[in-house]
Amino acid sequence: MTHILKKIDVNNFYKVFRRYKHHKEHWSVLKKKNKGKDKALKHFDDFYTSVYGTSSWERMREAMLKENNKHIAIVNNFSEHDAITEKLSLLGAMNLKSLYEIHKKNYDERAKFRASKTTSDKIYKINQPVEMILQNQRQSEVQSIFPESYQVPNELLAQKEVRKNSNDDNDDDELLKSKNIMDPVQLRSIEENVKVHQDENRIIKSSVGLTSSCLYEYVPTTKLKGLDDYVLESDHYNHYAQGADFSVKVEKEAILNIPEHLKIYTFESGNDSRFPSPRRAHCNVYDYYLMDGCSILPVLALDLQMGDTVLDMCAAPGGKSLAMLQTLMTYVLVANDSSHSRLNHMNNIFQDYLGDFDVWKDKLFLTNHDAREIEDKHIYNKILVDVPCTTDRHNLHNDENNIFSPTRVKERLRLPELQTEILLQALKIVAPGGTVVYSTCSLSPIQNDGVVQMALKKCSEEIESVMIVKNLDEALAPLRFIYKFATNCGLKYGHVAIPTKNNNWGPMYFCKIVKLP
């Protein structure tokens, strides 16, 4: 062995190049990694730009990317509520109910003024000279005979006026005085009259059927996508298109009822002040509950009345259920969630704000069921369906358990189907005359109006009850001083409160559905 080692020339060295790699937790590696929140932002940029428009989405995007969103404070009525309201008022916060009533009064007065102005305009039109009214009537009579594009010669109108108003025998003389009455009519080619040439080959006839292949047959290719994204979009849009041929009655509702004992405090528009963290009062319960400013809207849309039996199908983390309890109107409230851990967290929330649970043993129940399997028919007259969704704001800021992560692709694909099944079950079990409010914290029209449309269609096929969707545009109008609701985005049933620079809360979609008795 020694003999062999002596023959080795140790003076010659050979360099071997090896690429140095950072540890997987190094900042440069993490920066290059495509995280769940990055995928979420890319998906939203691609999808929501086409739904809401570039400028509108950019403003919402800017607000949603801010770390801190705006909150409201709900006073705990089971604590020293008078002292708490005084404390919040000293901070500069305002009572939402008082502001709503003031703006509602101003809104009604403006509506009356516009109505009176419209009436006065009609009276002015009636008082126009009789000659002008007769001339307009004659023109409309002549125009009704000819095509819309035909211009009525003034000479013909003059002829008709002479025939109606002249009692002499010299009518023929008057007619001969008019110029060029007998001139030949100038003919125009058919091509000149046709304004739009429609390509009938692209029209999908009703006899063909609204199949997915038919709907997408003439869509031009604009980009190539990976398999995951392609499946995602096709699944979403196919689910949305299944109920496209279904229609439901929509009725207007003029008033948004804010219960007297539900004390909601918020800062004015443009004020980004933060509420101090809640503290325990002398009763050993917290003084107020902080939640996103838009999260209270589905609770208000539910229109709680004294003695209501309420079911919150997907109650965790419990903020909306707690807000409903603060109205002091519920006879029984059942807060359900399919996750045992989330249910335990919600139980802790209730203990922190309600105190002794023995007092609530016959009025508050926490259940752990799959919302699709709840079979308590005709017991609840108010049901809140705040379904699992893409939670747009949350997934733009958190990578942990992000629904856009690769491990949760299948779960994300099934969201519209899951949401439809939960809402459908709520529509089946709600008591006749009862109300169901469906809500998400997503801007996606597929998870919003698309799910509502599909659930209503399936409901009409499976049960005989008639459902009516409530249009809350007029009821929500007084809240526009602090909330912004999306418009011109194709909404048919619900409403979307969107985040803005001055009021950075939301998004929140909600739709009110009533089952007729």
Q: Rounded distance, CA 394 to CA 317, Å?
A: 14
172 known member of a binding site: no
Q: Rounded distance, CA 269 to CA 99, Å?
A: 12
Q: Rounded distance, CA 121 to CA 203, Å?
A: 43
314 known member of a binding site: yes
Lookup: tokens for 108: 């009604």
Could you identify the residue written with the tokens 């023959």? 7
| Residue in 214, 294, 389, 441 annotated catalytic | 441
Q: Rounded distance, CA 267 to CA 273, Å?
A: 7
* Known catalytic membership, residue 441: yes
Smallest Cα–Cα separation from 450: which of 233, 299, 254, 251?
A: 233
337 known member of a binding site: yes
Q: Rounded distance, CA 244 to CA 228, Å?
A: 25
Q: Decide: helix, strand or coil at residue 334.
A: strand
Backbone angles phi, psi at 127, to 5 degrees: -85, 10
**Cis check: omega of the bond before 184, within 30 degrees of 0:** no
Lookup: tokens for 12: 């010659």
426 known member of a binding site: no
Q: Rounded distance, CA 121 to CA 131, Å?
A: 19
Distances (CA, A) of 359 to 316, 356, 363, 364, 365: 22, 6, 8, 9, 12
Lookup: tokens for 259: 């219960």
438: alpha, beta or left? (left if phi > 0; alpha if psi -120 to 50): beta
Dihedral angle sign, alpha carbons of residues 168, 172, 175, 179: negative
Q: Rounded distance, CA 346 to CA 336, Å?
A: 10
244 known member of a binding site: no
226 known member of a binding site: no
Q: Rounded distance, CA 211 to CA 98, Å?
A: 51
Question: What's the Rg (C-alpha) of the chain?
Answer: 33
Let me know: does 368 contact 338? Beta carbons within 8 Å.
yes
Q: Rounded distance, CA 317 to CA 72, Å?
A: 16
370 known member of a binding site: yes
Q: Rounded distance, CA 177 to CA 179, Å?
A: 6
- Which residues fall in the annotated binding site? 314-320, 337, 370, 386
Among all residues, which ones are annotated catalytic? 441
- Which residues fall in the annotated binding site for S-adenosyl-L-methionine? 314-320, 337, 370, 386
